[in-house]
Amino acid sequence: MTTEERDDVLLALRSAVDLITRTMHPALIPEVGTNIVYAIRGARTPVDVAAVEGRIVRAGGRPTPVGQVTFGASDHVARIVLTAMKFDPEVRSAANIRYSSEIIDLMEDLFLEVCSFDRGQEPPGTKTMDWGVAFCCRAGVPDIIYDTGAVGKEAMVRILGENPQQVATVIGTISSRISHNTRFEDPEATT
């Protein structure tokens, strides 16, 4: 991977982060924060994947990146995209957002391909993201992978795409829909 190619990945991811900060409904940010990643072609390890240092958090009622976009800034979300790339090398971007059944319903209404896994079925000695993503990618990489959590593990939705603009656009579309949806409840709106 050339320096120019790595710079292109960083530039594309910065643009997607900017779109997220302008369009993401803050209720989509999970307690652990949101991150969005973009891998270089042929990525093998998290150092080949660009992400936001410290994630994107809710600050002042809006999405706010904690740090800069740089390579190696994510392990968790990076592993999601690295596993997906084993099934489809063109799927090089992913982000995590808060889970709710209403969010999944909205995604299905948008005709996004949705898959879920049960953390309780995870084989011993495996990492949840590696196993869960592989479980959902057996017949091809879906647009959305989610789980409903486990003891000490927050329920989470993962959005996958070929590039971060595609992923950020899905986040923006969902955000627009929940802003106009009376069924959607923001758990932090009353705190």
Task: Provide long-range contacts, Cβ within 8 A and 24+ apart, for 120-129.
Answer: 120/150, 127/79, 128/153, 129/76, 129/79, 129/80, 129/83
Average pLDDT estimate for 161-169: 98
Rounded-to-integer distance, Cα 108 and Cα 121, Å: 24
Q: What is the pLDDT of residues 62-93, one digit of tens each?
A: 999 999 999 999 999 999 999 999 999 999 99
- Whether residue 190 is predicted with pLDDT greater than 60 in this model: the reply is no
Q: What is the pLDDT of residues 134-163, one digit of tens each?
A: 999 999 999 999 999 888 889 999 999 999
- Whether residue 189 is predicted with pLDDT greater than 80 in this model: the reply is no
